[in-house]
Structure 1
């Protein structure tokens, strides 16, 4: 992979809109179409509210040339209208960002803080999306996906909590993690390439998510009343992104239930914040833990995620239910997916990061 696409990290002109410079009339019309309450499926209804033949012609043109994927891109940009300058203006560009702080969370987990181009910049990551890190390691380009733990309202920096997979620790992976060991060895001031936003899930508005179940499917705008979440280890980070966003909005009544799996109690990341949210939002969010090696007197579950745990602590299958899954592949493939299938969750009720 070449890094010729850097050009300082920002596209010429800094215009995030794929249509180039739009008139005020076009902008209002497109935003009305794209932000109708029922999403892209109701674009015709939204169009009827804008009078005049020029708007009708604009609709026909938009529907003719704008794919669902392009509409999703526009929605992302509309969602990013906020104070501050956006860092990730082009999802195909590569942005070199410096490491400015590194904190040890526990024996194998670190908090990495990267600086943005100025104190006024935000990262520009829509809720539900993530970024890719790119690094040349031993003459090969390595790419990994990560979700920040900082808010996208934070200016000047972005934080990640990342577990380091060291060599000769896990028998399945004797070489450890290429990217995580690279991050562990970074010095303050070193840069790494960011690319994004990326993702198959976009939190559009309260209870409304645009979802691609897999890479082959088209994005769909769907309504959910209850989100079930199954996270393993650092797989908690995309869940926390949603939990924070939903509970921060007092008009969002979406319920969330989290089943969080770890090896030991010490490995439970962000536990204090999760339990504070559960306490202050009793009717909206609850969390349950399971540990491979629980301590004496542990009051939660132990062992791999099971169908019984899911049945007790997550919402049942239904049209208004979505189960979000993020964690180590063995946990997902050997425990989570078989258990969900056993309980009757269909493919469209499950989203795996």
Structure 2
């Protein structure tokens, strides 16, 4: 299966970050390890065991699983819900781990912290992201899952539900396109990690014809070597696989990017709706 990942970037920060990757994939192996997420309707309190600063407003949070032998039990393409009482109100947010589901003993989340009084449109900032940032090692938060409408089954096979109440239908693809904005990159990283595994570090060196990266900035500096502006039909046509029965385009990012840049341009280029999926 050939995969293209396109990721738009905002020169002012990581809100609209975009790249293109092309590579070959191979099937992952799963072991019968104890699973944390046994029931999607049950909340599982997990302790914070490590917090790492990636940038001034982006943090990596590591939560411990019930034992060193446990895996999270999250199918590729799915997400978890984190929930907590914040200022007397229940707050629930969806997140996609960046750690592989084969990792034992912990799960990693990379989260952008939306601080108060930074964005005038949202003066209070992000309730959950600020709460997570305030947690100290040993504090717990409730996880619930797996959740989501798409699951990657391996060897190019996907199971996709049109909605929560519908049965999943199988789709086999040879070409997979991805468009991700901001923290929408995390569901795509799930697929990239499971598909590339150990080859990821060496792929650019060993497979130059199978791995390519493309960026676009809305306001690029004068020495910028890649694309500029928001995602357009020309970018999609140039960097993503063309429409076809065995092509699937995945999208994840801010709603305006999906609704006004991605979907209209994909439709304009002739991609059928059932060959596209927005997280």
TM-score normalised to structure 2 length: 0.84
2:184 to 210, 235, 240: 235
Structure 1 position 145 matched with structure 2 position 71: no
User: Which region of structure 1 is more displaced relative to structure 2, 241-250 or 217-226?
Assistant: 241-250
Structure 1 position 225 matched with structure 2 position 174: yes
Alpha-carbon shift at residue 307 of structure 1 (Å): 1.2
Residue 295 of structure 1: aligned partner: 221
Deviations 1:85-112 (A, max 9, x none): 1111111110000111111101111000
Structure 1 position 89 matched with structure 2 position 38: yes
* Larger-Rg structure: 1
Q: Structure 1: how far apart are the matches of 2:268 and 2:185?
A: 24
Moved beyond 4 Å, runs of 4+: 275-281
1:328 to 231, 251, 254: 254
The question of whether the paired residues in 2 share the 8 Å contact of 1:231 and 1:327 is answered with yes
The 3-state SS of whatever aligns with 1:298 is coil
Q: How well do the aligned residues superpose, as a CA RMSD in angstroms?
A: 2.1
CA distance 1:324–1:202, change in 2 (3 Å): same
Q: What pairs up with 1:25-174 in 2 under 5 angstroms? A: 82-174=31-123
Q: Structure 2: how far apart are the matches of 1:277 and 1:240?
A: 15
Higher relative contact order (CA 8 A, sep 6+): 2
1:181 to 106, 126, 130: 130
Q: Which has the higher helix share?
A: 1
The 3-state SS of whatever aligns with 1:235 is helix
The question of whether the paired residues in 2 share the 8 Å contact of 1:88 and 1:125 is answered with yes
Deviations 1:189-220 (A, max 9, x none): 11110001111111112011111244464311
The question of whether the paired residues in 1 share the 8 Å contact of 2:30 and 2:102 is answered with no
Residue 340 of structure 1: aligned partner: 266
TM-score normalised to structure 1 length: 0.67
Q: Structure 1: how far apart are the matches of 2:162 and 2:83?
A: 25
Q: Structure 2: how far apart are the matches of 1:222 and 1:239?
A: 18
The 3-state SS of whatever aligns with 1:286 is coil
* Alignment length (residue pairs): 252
Q: Structure 2: how far apart are the matches of 1:195 and 1:225?
A: 32
Residue 318 of structure 1: aligned partner: 244
Alpha-carbon shift at residue 282 of structure 1 (Å): 3.6
Q: Structure 2: how far apart are the matches of 1:283 and 1:83?
A: 36
Q: 5+ residue gaps in structure 1?
A: 1-78, 251-272
The 3-state SS of whatever aligns with 2:214 is strand
Q: Structure 2: how far apart are the matches of 1:334 and 1:306?
A: 10
Alpha-carbon shift at residue 279 of structure 1 (Å): 4.3
The question of whether the paired residues in 2 share the 8 Å contact of 1:96 and 1:192 is answered with yes
Q: Structure 2: how far apart are the matches of 1:334 and 1:167?
A: 28
